[in-house]
Amino acid sequence: MRHEPTHRVLSVVEALAADGPPLPLSEIAREAEASRSTLHAVLAEMRAQGWAEKVAGGWRAGPRLRAVGALLAAEVDLARAAREPLEALAEATGIAAVVFEVREGMAEVVDSAGSGMRTASRGVVPVGHVVPLRAPFARELAARLPMVEQRRWLAESGGLTPAARERLELVLPQIARRGWSVERLTPGRRELLRMADSLEASGIGSLVRDRVSELFVELSEIDVTDAELAGTADLAVASVAAPVLRADGRAVGSVAVTPGRRMTGRAVARAVEAVTACAGDVSARLASRPGPARAAVLPPHLVHPAHAARVP
C-alpha cells in the first residue's frame, strides 16, 4: 500500500527532473494525481528548500535538485569503464591484471582479467581483495594526494619502522613524477602472499589483516627508485600499478598487473608502459562522462611538488 504524501512528493520530483520547458501547475497535478491546492503546499516547501523554482511558464527543477542530478550523472561504474582496457592490458602483457577502486579507506579489487595467462606465475587477485589505504600500501594513490593528506597517510600507519618511513620519503616523490609504483617480491613475502590468499579465502578478520599488513612491511623492499631500476639486470615484482584519475586529477582507483616473479629491467619497463597506458585509457573514459565543476585549486603549500610538476 503506497504512502500518498510520499508518492506525491516523488511524483513532483520526477516531473521536475524531466527534460523540457517549465511545467504548469496543472500538468504537475495531472502527473502526480493530486489536486492543485495540495501541490501548492508541496511546491512551496520544495521552493523554500531549493528543490523547485517558479519561473515564467511554470515550475522547473531548483538548484538542489539540479546539483543532485549532476552528481548522479558523474557517477561512473569504474569496473565497467575498465573492462575493455583491462582485457587489453592482460592480453598485451601476458600477465593477470586487476582494477582497484577506493572504497571506505580501502582499495578493493572490482574486476580482473587474464586468468591462466601464459606468463603469469601467480593467479589473478580475486574480486573483493582489499589493500589498506595506509602507508606503505597504495603508493600510486598516495603519491597523488596533496601534501597535507600525504602526511596524514604516513602518520596513520603505526607499523612503519624508521627505515620504512625514510624509504617512503625517498620513493614517493619519484612515484608522483613517473606515475606508477612497483610492489617488490622477496622470498619471505612470496610465502606471506600465499598465506594471505589462503586467509582471505577463509574470511580473514581485521586484526589478522592488520598483522599481515605489518609483516608485509617488515618483509618488503618498498618500491624501487629510478636509479635502482636503471642499475639492475632483473627485479622480483609482485605488481606494477598506476592510478586512475577523475577529470579533476583526483585518484579514484588504480590498475595493476600482478606477475609475481622475476622480470628483466626491459620487461619491467614494458609492463610499466602498458599499465600506465591502461590507466590513462580508463581515466579518459571517466573524464568523458559529464561531471561536476572542476575542484578549486589548492594553495601551493598544500600541493606535493612532484604532483604540481605533472599538473598544469
287 backbone dihedrals φ, ψ, rounded to 5°: -70, -20
Selection from 62-71, 74-83, 104-113, 204-213 with the highest mean pLDDT: 104-113
Q: How far apart (Å, rounded) are the C-alpha atoms in residues 131 and 41?
A: 50
SS3 assignment, position 304: coil
Q: Among 133-142, 193-202, 223-232, which stretch is predicted with the lowest mean pLDDT? A: 193-202
List the Cα angle 62/246/133 in 5-degree steps: 115
**Which of these, 239, 241, 255, lies nearest to 139 by C-alpha position?**
241
227 backbone dihedrals φ, ψ, rounded to 5°: -65, -40
> Is residue 15 within 8 Å of residue 31, measured between CB atoms?
yes
Q: How far apart (Å, rounded) are the C-alpha atoms in residues 131 and 217?
A: 13
Q: How far apart (Å, rounded) are the C-alpha atoms in residues 17 and 11?
A: 10
**Alpha-carbon distance values, 144 to 250, 268, 297, 303 (Å):** 7, 22, 14, 9
Q: How far apart (Å, rounded) are the C-alpha atoms in residues 257 and 263?
A: 13
Q: How far apart (Å, rounded) are the C-alpha atoms in residues 111 and 78?
A: 9
pLDDT, residue 245, reads: 93
The residue among 25 and 73 whose pLDDT is bigger is 25
pLDDT, residue 115, reads: 56
Question: Locate cell 580482473: which residue?
Answer: 112
pLDDT tens-place string over residues 291-308: 444 444 444 544 445 555
> Is residue 55 within 8 Å of residue 25, measured between CB atoms?
no
Cell numbers at residue 61, please?
Answer: 527543477
Task: Please compute the mean of the pLDDT values over residues 165-182 and round it to a whole number.
Answer: 92
pLDDT tens-place string over residues 127-149: 888 888 888 889 999 998 888 88
SS3 assignment, position 112: strand
Residue 180 pLDDT more than 90? yes
Residue 179 pLDDT more than 90? yes
Q: How far apart (Å, rounded) are the C-alpha atoms in residues 183 and 237?
A: 6
- The two most distant CA atoms of the chain are separated, in Å, by 80
Q: How far apart (Å, rounded) are the C-alpha atoms in residues 59 and 28?
A: 9
> Is residue 122 within 8 Å of residue 259, measured between CB atoms?
yes
Residue 215 pLDDT more than 50? no
Residue 172 pLDDT more than 70? yes
Percent of the chain with pLDDT over 90: 29
